[in-house]
Structure 1
């Protein structure tokens, strides 16, 4: 006797985590990636990396400011966040995140002020200390964001540690791509920075591709249930979003353009890499919630046009642009001879 439930009619089910969660994981991933890209210059003291470090730190600060806004919007009842502090639970990733996130953001703001304003030439040991502290906190955020999704037993796709390296590597790729865009949009574009950013972007994209192959390969060999769910999601349920938009447009195409390495295409290459980082999170969040456990078919997601959907996505991008303009303007005002 088969005791499993088998549904023959599929019904639409609302997604618990909507587009605001995607935006939070996207912006915090770019922020962490931007911080880690400053390590060669501000920790290892490689002076030729300083222009990239400044660009990456601007990416980290601006995206880091937007991330908590998206998180609060996703909480639905934001005032309840104080419960994380009143009732700390050591076994809960969200409880740890409630302390890690504000600590990381405070460290990031102090790091940005020190490195972009007070010590642009990287001569003070305080800058190095701030870089190390923020990088360590960023690594903690990466671990928390990749692990908190695995607490849901009903989502086999999220239950193992594959998301942690995937979010980290794709965040590095997105941050490198955004830094490449900023470098090519400023008046005094650094060709040396362009070349280094393209090379590192290619590496991060290759690593992202290797991560997908390893995860999907483990599923194909029946070594990973989550890998099997990934293959189902990509090949059966969401081939357009997964294969065409994420892997094709957001991974393979920027890698191809990066390998060709035409300076005229740097902005396009960078934007596609950023899109790929966002698309990965969209597929994991929205697509992952659509995989049925016992249902007859995939649970479709209709993107709302209001603040819970398209308007929220565009609004968060607009907020990031506001932060970028304000910070670049302040840096230009106080450092008229320098363009970061």
Structure 2
């Protein structure tokens, strides 16, 4: 009797943490675009402060997300091949068209909405800040219907991003945990948790004043609370459905995956509970409370993508593996994650400065359809 020993070398994961970051930031962008449309439709019930935070989350995520995608492509120049060799039957190739359109629309919509805040910077005491008022590109008014139309088109474009990002991974038939309808639904639902978390973070960075939008309105509370609760509950229900689609129900036979699924479920419950603790009462919300909401929602959205995209790759496909993965400290790991969040935070700090003029002058910005007056722009 002869015994043949077969040695299987360890296999590297194909999708690096860059894909988690891309799905994380671009998901927050298209979810914020949808929430921004709702806030415009209920303009009288929502605050300018919340709308500004939503539109900044949308624009910043639409800019940072594609940068993470180029990192996942391993070389930025590789993106050129999507246009030189367009293949309409490929979701990634279609995404090369959908993504720049969404990014451009998100930045355009954010600019249209924040033009009044840019004009208010002309009253700043700092000369450099006053020059930013030129970014309004004139004193022409922004009609409400123009802004709403731009926001709706941006939201529809965001849905194309949600479709292609979910489909490009769900078509991988060799991964049953990806090749199912529950996976793109799970990523779409938890994108709203990321949007709420980043909105709460930017909201806490914006200046406070006693004359305009110093606190969340009752409708702001309901919008953020119900969005967080609905997304967390739906994700909580989708997690066991998603896990059950693995062949042989094997995830529940592995101690490491029982921990992963428990952590995912617990993160959804914490996000829902924190939304009620922070936003359950219609009162002014402290920055500490917003930090709790930011931490729980962002953690839930991030863990969903990390476990469903990175940890899934450690499961054997056609053999017994192994497929180990350890987060490196370099640019393809922890340094890259910290760098992308640092970039997002830097853009958020710059964006929050656009509203500084209103807090310092103590005046409320006019609605977008009003004419903007400042000394640098002729009427």
For 1:212, the equivalent position in structure 2 comes to 239
Confirm or deny: 8 A CA contact 1:24 1:68 kept in the other structure: yes
1:276-295 aligned at under 5 Å gives the runs 276-295=300-319
Write out per-residue CA displacement over residues 252-287 of structure 1, whole angstroms, 9 at most, x where no aligned residue: 212222233475533212221111111111111111
The 3 A distance-change label for structure 1 pair 256 and 98 is same
Count of matched residue pairs = 323
* Secondary structure of 1:152 counterpart: coil
For 1:253, the equivalent position in structure 2 comes to 270
The whole-number CA distance in structure 1 between the counterparts of 2:332 and 2:322 is 21
Within the candidate set 17, 20, 34, 2:18 is matched to 20
| TM-superposed deviation, 1:300 | 1.8
For 2:350, the equivalent position in structure 1 comes to 326
Q: Which runs of 5+ in 2 are unaligned?
A: 119-140, 209-213, 280-284, 366-379
1:149 aligns with 2:173: no
The 3 A distance-change label for structure 1 pair 40 and 180 is same
The whole-number CA distance in structure 2 between the counterparts of 1:47 and 1:116 is 17
1:191 aligns with 2:216: yes
For 1:162, the equivalent position in structure 2 comes to 182
Write out per-residue CA displacement over residues 179-221 of structure 1, whole angstroms, 9 at most, x where no aligned residue: 12333444435232345422321222112212224434xx3xx
1:274 aligns with 2:298: yes
TM-score between the two structures when normalised by the length of structure 1: 0.85
1:70-149 aligned at under 5 Å gives the runs 70-118=68-116, 123-149=143-169
The 3 A distance-change label for structure 1 pair 119 and 226 is farther
Q: If each structure's helix is expressed as a fraction of its own residues, which one has the higher value? A: 1
Q: RMSD between aligned alpha carbons?
A: 2.8
Q: Which moved more, 1:61-70 or 1:296-305?
A: 296-305
State the structure with bigger RCO (CA 8 A, min sep 6), 1 or 2: 2
| TM-superposed deviation, 1:116 | 1.8
* Secondary structure of 2:13 counterpart: coil
The whole-number CA distance in structure 2 between the counterparts of 1:233 and 1:30 is 30
| TM-superposed deviation, 1:234 | 9.0
The 3 A distance-change label for structure 1 pair 65 and 31 is same
The whole-number CA distance in structure 2 between the counterparts of 1:10 and 1:101 is 39
The whole-number CA distance in structure 2 between the counterparts of 1:64 and 1:190 is 27
For 1:4, the equivalent position in structure 2 comes to none
The 3 A distance-change label for structure 1 pair 268 and 169 is same
* Secondary structure of 1:49 counterpart: coil
* Secondary structure of 1:38 counterpart: helix
The whole-number CA distance in structure 2 between the counterparts of 1:330 and 1:187 is 10
The whole-number CA distance in structure 1 between the counterparts of 2:255 and 2:302 is 21
Write out per-residue CA displacement over residues 273-322 of structure 1, whole angstroms, 9 at most, x where no aligned residue: 11111111111111121110233355221111000100000000000011
1:47 aligns with 2:44: yes
The whole-number CA distance in structure 1 between the counterparts of 2:24 and 2:247 is 22
The whole-number CA distance in structure 2 between the counterparts of 1:78 and 1:234 is 41
Q: Which moved more, 1:82-91 or 1:98-107?
A: 82-91
Larger radius of gyration: 2
TM-score between the two structures when normalised by the length of structure 2: 0.77
